[in-house]
Structures are given as C-alpha cells and as structure tokens.
Amino acid sequence: MRLSQILKAKLHHARVTYANPEYVGSVEIDRRLMERAGLTDGELVHVWAVNHGARIETYCFGGPPGVIGLNGGAAHHFHVGDRVVIAAFALTDEPITPTMLLLDDDNRVVRDMTPFSVVG
C-alpha cells in the first residue's frame, strides 16, 4: 500500500479576526465551518496568507461563529484582517473529494467550490 497526502478540506479567503500571542498556540475556527469542512478539534492544518508570504502548520479547535483566530507563535505571523487559506490533508490510498469553501469578509460561506469528483 502506498499512502499519499491528499487535500481533504480548504477554507479559502478566511479573514483573521484576532491574533493572540499569549495563548499556547493553534488556530480557532468557527465550529460550523469546521463541521462543514470535516475538520476535527486537534487536527493538523496549514494556514497560508493570501496577502503576504506567511505559512504555518498548527492544530485547529472550534470556536464561535465568524471566528478565525491565530494563537501563540502563529499570532506573530498574521494580523487581524489578513486573508488566509486553511487547508487540511489526509494520508490515504484512495481518492478523496476535498471540501472547498470560499468565505466572505465575515467568514461566511459564499460558495461551495467542492469538486463533484476527483479522479483517482
């Protein structure tokens, strides 16, 4: 068996609502977005800035509606208002259809960009 890391979920153009360097670390994500994207508390995610070059890995946990917050060391790389992509990957030997959600400035889903199928 050969496992590949395949995109599982992507929140595209999320807006950072807070950056708190005093917290232990992680990214807090609107729990409804996490559920819709299939993310779970403690899951490894990548956070990539859209408007500058910052890229980090951290874990996510659910928060209140509209929140995308960077904590701990991650908070030094992002600022309130930054647009980011949050992506999660899965190790698998089977095709995956990733959930891909485009968000507005208030972190609400404006378009589901999930492909209908992925060729394996």
Residue 108 lies in a domain: no
The active-site residue, picked from 18, 23, 59, 117, is 59
Q: Per-residue pLDDT for 120 more than 70?
A: no
Residue 56 corresponds to which amino acid? I
Residue 66 lies in a domain: yes
Q: What pLDDT is stored for residue 118 in this prediction? A: 52
Is 73 annotated among the ligand-binding residues? yes
Is 114 annotated among the ligand-binding residues? no
**Mean pLDDT of the region 91-114:** 96
Sheet holding 26-30, edge to edge: 18-20, 68-71, 26-30, 55-63, 44-49, 83-92, 4-15, 99-103, 109-112
Residue 107 lies in a domain: no
Q: What pLDDT is stored for residue 79 in this prediction? A: 95
Active site residue 4: no
Residue 80 lies in a domain: yes
| CATH number reported for the structural domain that contains residue 35 in this entry | 2.40.40.20
Q: For 19-33, write each residue's pLDDT tens digit.
A: 999 988 799 999 999
How many domains does the chain fold into?
Answer: 1
Distance CA 49, CA 51 (A): 6
Residue 41 lies in a domain: yes
**Distance between first and last Cα of the chain:** 15
Q: What pLDDT is stored for residue 24 in this prediction? A: 81
% of the chain beyond a pLDDT of 70 = 96
Residue 120 lies in a domain: no
Active site residue 26: yes
Residue 28 lies in a domain: yes
Residue 114 lies in a domain: no
**Mean pLDDT of the region 51-61:** 96
Estimate to the nearest angstrom the gap between the alpha carbon of 19 and the chain centroid: 15
Sequence-ordered alpha helix ranges (H) in 11-104: 31-37
Is 74 annotated among the ligand-binding residues? yes
Supply the range of the domain harboring residue 16: 4-93
